Chains A and B, each alone.
Chain A
Amino acid sequence: MRTRYSSSLKFLFLSILLGNISLFISNSFAFQSDELLADDEEFGIEGGRSPDAAFPTRTVSSPPSIRKRSSDLGSDLDSKIQFPLEHAFGDSDFAPAGSFSARLKTWSHGGQTLTKLRFSRNGLSETEKENFKKLLEGDDFYRIRVPSNVLSPPGREYIISSVKARCLPRDGLDEHFMIHMEGVNILAVNYGSPGSCPYPRQFKIPAKWSFKSHTVLKNSEQAPRTPVFTEEVVGENAEGELPPPERSFWAKYWMYLIPLGLIVMNAITQAMNMAEEPGNGQPGAQTQQAVAGAQRGQTAAVRRR
């Protein structure tokens, strides 16, 4: 057990190292595999995801978790599996193009999922390059397929996916796999270029005939639960037409307040005029009249002057 495990650890370590090296010296290889290690959805099934598990390096560097791990491993039998990727140019027959390797993790409740998916692509042969060029010229489809069941390939049927060949060339040939899985069954492969590929697709021969691959493994998501409110259901109007929220005094009565304000302002200005009038040194007898005139409005008062 220990030896097997350590050897697998070693392998992992090596492969990660290799992966890192290959990132730096990518040009010297015919192909380049770029495994996306930290994947969000990878453990999205029951029990929530354990972010640690996505990083194989973590488990290596944490000796205290041996007990937990061994109990984990006691129930599951991790095994390495491989499944092929095949491709076709236009309507040609499918031919092997590479292989995926992954670990099959058996959960204690019986479910099986794939983890640590990595992909290695075969280099393109000369005829394949020629074929690919033809596809580029004709703006035709480059097609790939994988088995629908990874344990007993090809399963019921192959999963086919295709892309217009002109979408792939960038510097090299950029491709992006998103593999949707349900247990050990592959449901679908979303295959395409990582970037955009707008319609009048330009004819472009890649500088390098090597694939730069990104792979993402995706498991199903759980639907959000319906919120359950135990209280306040009665309190609610139950009709969605909630009682209008209590509005402020101003919001409620503005239509009365504005005319009122106008009247008050009007009265004040008149009162001010009235105050001015005695200041002008008018005889006291006229003051009486001015008070009466205040109601008549300002214009009248002004005119009188």
Chain B
Amino acid sequence: MNMAIRVFFLLLTLFSSTYLTLCIYEDQVGHMDWHQQYIGKVKHAVFHTQKAARKRVVVSTEENVVASLDLRRGEIFWRHVLGPKDVIDAIDIALGKYVITLSSGGTILRAWNLPDGQMIWESTLSGSTPSKSILSIPTNLKIGKDNVVFVYGGGCLYAVASIDGEVVWKNELTSEGGDIQQLIYPEGTDIIYAVGLVALAQFDAYQINVKTGGLLKHSSMVFPAGFSGDLSFLTSGIAVALDSTGSVLVAVDFQDGAISFHQTHVSELGSYFSGPAVMLPTKLPGMFALEINKSTVFIKATNDGKLEVLDTFGHSTAVSESLYLSEGQQAFGIIQQGDGKIILTIKLGNDWTSNLLQETIQMDYQRGIAQKVFINTYVRTDRSNGFRALIVNEDHSLLLVQQGDIVWSREDGLASITDVMASELPVEKDGVSVAKVEHNLFEWLKGHFLKLKGTLMIATPDDVAAIQRMRLRSSEKSKMTRDHNGFRKLLIVLTRAGKLFALHTGDGRIVWSLLLDSLRKSETCQNPRGLSLHQWQDPHHHVLDEDPSVLVVGRCDHSTDSPGVLSIVDTYTGQERSHMGPTHSITRVIPLPFTDSVEQRLHLLLDVNQQARLYPRTNEALDIFQRELGNIYWYSADVDEGILKGHAVQNNCILEIADSYCFHTRDLWSIVLPLESEKIIATATRNSIEVVHTQAKVMSDQEVIYKYISKNLLFFATVAPKAVGPIGSVTPEESWLVVYVIDTVTGRILHRMTHHGSQGPVRAVFSENWVVYHYFNLKAHRYEMSVIEIYDQSRLDNKDILKLLLGKHNLTSPITAYSRPEVITKSQSYFFTHSLKTLAVTSTAKGITSKQLLLGTIGDQVLALDKRFLDPRRTINPTQAEKEEGIIPLTDSLPIIPQSYVTHALKVEGLKGIATVPAKLESTTLVFAYGVDLFFTRLAPSRTYDSLTEDFSYALLLITIVALVIAIFVTWIWSERKELQEKWR
């Protein structure tokens, strides 16, 4: 008996020590999550290689990132993501230790410490008019004691001390409609030249005293034919521009304040030049580049103003800025596109005929053409000049090229993801190659023994390191086949560059990438961009041999009426199966809940003329569609007009060419919002693939309420038109927020509610029968989150058991939108500390697991918040029964638990969206947060109740069992022996 009690206590202590927590331990970081840092498409790069131990390149990007990269490996030394509106105009290095950035249209000037990226100073230059912004840093100029930088922004020219950001002097330069295009400071003089155009017809040159900022001389001259855009500066006294027709080159000589024009017709340069020319933005010594007839022409200006053609290249040619070499010479680089390779040529500024360097570099076709090139020089072992080039490609990737090889590359296209979709991996089969799974039994035992040591806290630091390594390197998670729990998947992401990537959820590596031809710039499609991804084919059961595929939808221009492009991509191989377009415009893609015999999903594509087109264009799809024609409804919203409309399919289009896949639509309902009081600012719908486990919700008092679950619900929020602006622009009295929940089949307003004194921005998420939205309460000066839950009243009488027995219930009656819904809504609001960037909700395979809201905070982190905190049934003092049900006592604000940050210590810079994908394991959901950075993790909102944790110590379990068995035998022998003794007594 004593023994039994002892064993019991031992077990008790054992089990009580294995408690579970919501947060993760330090050593679990990186175990099931990964984090990748990107910077975006590079706009400008400045090398810092001289007199520096760590060679680096400072870049600014289109994602408003300023970053310092390691020139040897391409890693990020430091990085700053400026706000989405703080566009970087120029960067440069001053004093050899500060990175100067000019941003926000030339109004904010900042200095960052070059080694570590600390901000040194920031000054706001309040310009009067929006204008170009130019940053010019003279190499060695002192005013008083300070080195200065010249900044032109907002119509003013400033001299700013580079040591502390103090404005030394300011000179307002703009005349009506004028803009400065270039600042020229001839070394060693006291005059800075500011040159620009007024209304594209008048050439202005200002001479300004460097020390005082006083205007010395202003000369201008009108060019009656007008200029067509930017000037190209050849030397400190000569600029070249095209006239408004694009057929005459105008050389402007503005030395010593006297302006003179020399006109040269483009056709005079050579008989084969015809058609309008476009000036390419180049900064080359004594020469400039034109684009005529899709070819790039380099033209040199001789000293007497004559122009002569140097060379002509093919269309896609990238030219670098000129680079000063040690002997006062200048060099520049040209990249020409070849077939599967690029040719890098470095030339001296004054000598076109010979090349300093010519290299051919093999280039992946998937990177597209080179768009930008930045060159840098270094001294070779033989004391000659070597060159390295930083190349920005069409897919936004960044490469460093040296000695004909790619030293490193960065896939920075991933910094601008537009849409995400998850795809399954292939099933494990004999033919499919699989990464080596487990080593031998000894290895396995050793691993578990190490883990056991870790658990019992007797491991040495070496052992701990070994355990950690083992965990992170587990080959299990990065295999290329489907796993039992559904953790391994492919994330298909579409980037702004029109490139499709497949990322492995195990370790985040790129499995394949594809630059879609249909989303590349072409004759017929000038400015293409990808819109969205849709599951095209998701093979199940009988068609497992087929590979799954996705539909990529794009558009040729920004306007909605521009032609659309479609392509279908195999997600296993990353090959494009077919593509279409440019074709009709695409305003919306509606995946229909029907699939054909090969599991291709039917899609309805709507164009601007309210015509619906069915895809795939097969007879089978058409048959299925015709059968379900009467049950297909959708809605459209005109945000500017404040009108929502419901639509249904009517009949076939009447077109010049008969098209049986095109349908006319008709309006079924409309909601017209009064323009003077309401403007739509946010919408939310349910995810169409969301699974709801049960409609019934059992309350604490054994009552049942029924959730109103309909796929056709739309939530939208409107605000007073005055309150569209930023927070604080209106008083609480003239601002309100109205929220609606409508049925999109009939246009019924199920719920309409006004929040007085509140305003946007509104972020909302709709799931099951509830909506959660986030907005600002002007009266309370705080952010608020509200929840609306909708319950179905018409099923309430199903509780009667007698009726159930007699079959008089309506549980099996089909649900129709045409019945008048008897719904009740419950709502509650809470304060919340953070402002949000995005809002999402976890989704699981069967919808049993409780939900968590994923809040993308303004600090670029993802916070998980239990849905239980947003439950309209919360009261201040819940009864005992309600507490047992899990109702939390009502508080006025929502808690922020530091441990529930999904991103733990990491930041997803520039957070744009959160995608959740259900795993096969019911308790678990996969979360992918994307912005400039990418972050992926697994979440278990109700903890992993259906599986053991991965670091569960099987060895410990085994040892315990063995020990127990031994104990049983020992005690049995003991008791036998004792009994025997008793009997002999």
Contacts and interface: CB of A to CB of B under 8 A. Distances in A.
Interface of A: 91, 139, 141, 143, 148-149, 155-164, 167, 176, 178, 180, 182-183, 185-188, 190, 192-199, 218, 220-229, 233, 236, 238-242, 255, 259, 263, 266, 296, 300
Interface in B807-836: 813-814, 816, 818-820, 827-831
B838 to A, nearest CB: 23
Contacts, number: 157
Interface in B241-296: none
22 contacts: A159-B671, A159-B672, A161-B747, A185-B674, A185-B677, A187-B671, A196-B813, A196-B816, A197-B819, A198-B816, A222-B756, A223-B754, A223-B755, A223-B827, A223-B829, A224-B829, A228-B780, A229-B892, A238-B895, A240-B891, A240-B895, A240-B897
A157 B643 CA distance: 9
Contact of B748 (A190, A195, A240, A296): A190
Contacts of B895: 238-240
B169 interface: no
B1 A263 contact: yes
Contact of A220 (B753, B794, B888, B890): B753
A224 B828 contact: yes
B375 to A, nearest CB: 56
Interface in B629-647: 630, 641, 643, 645
Nearest to A232: B891
Contacts of A157: 643, 670, 672
A212 to B, nearest CB: 14
A-B CB proximity, top 7 nearest: A196-B819, A197-B818, A185-B674, A148-B672, A240-B895, A226-B829, A188-B671
Nearest to A144: B669
A190 B747 contact: yes
B689 interface: no
Interface of B: 1, 5, 8, 12, 630, 641, 643, 645, 648, 650, 666-675, 677-678, 738-739, 742, 746-749, 752-756, 777, 780, 784, 786, 794, 813-814, 816, 818-820, 827-831, 866, 869, 876, 888-893, 895, 897, 982
A161 B674 contact: no
Contacts of B829: 223-226
A182 B678 contact: yes
A44 B742 CA distance: 20
A165 to B, nearest CB: 11
A240 B887 CA distance: 11
Nearest to B645: A160
B503 to A, nearest CB: 34
A229 B780 contact: no
Contacts of B889: 242
Nearest to B866: A240
B780 A180 contact: no
Contacts of B749: 178, 180, 187-188, 190, 218
B875 to A, nearest CB: 10
Contact of A198 (B673, B819, B830, B893): B819
A187 B777 contact: no
Nearest to B739: A223
A19 B449 CA distance: 88
Nearest to B788: A223
Contacts of A296: 982
B820 A227 contact: no
B8 to A, nearest CB: 7
Nearest to B883: A245
B655 to A, nearest CB: 19
A196 to B, nearest CB: 4
Contacts of B827: 223-224
A220 B819 CA distance: 23
Nearest to A224: B827
Given A159-B672, A160-B645, A226-B777, 20 more contacts: A91-B650, A141-B668, A156-B675, A160-B667, A178-B748, A182-B674, A185-B672, A187-B672, A187-B752, A188-B672, A188-B749, A190-B820, A197-B816, A218-B752, A221-B754, A222-B754, A224-B828, A226-B892, A236-B891, A263-B1
Given A91-B666, A156-B675, A255 B12 contact: yes
B714 to A, nearest CB: 12
Instruction: Count chain B CB atoms within 10 A of each CB in A158, A187, A221 and give the residue with the most.
Output: A187
Contacts of A156: 641, 672, 675
A116 B747 CA distance: 25
B869 A240 contact: yes
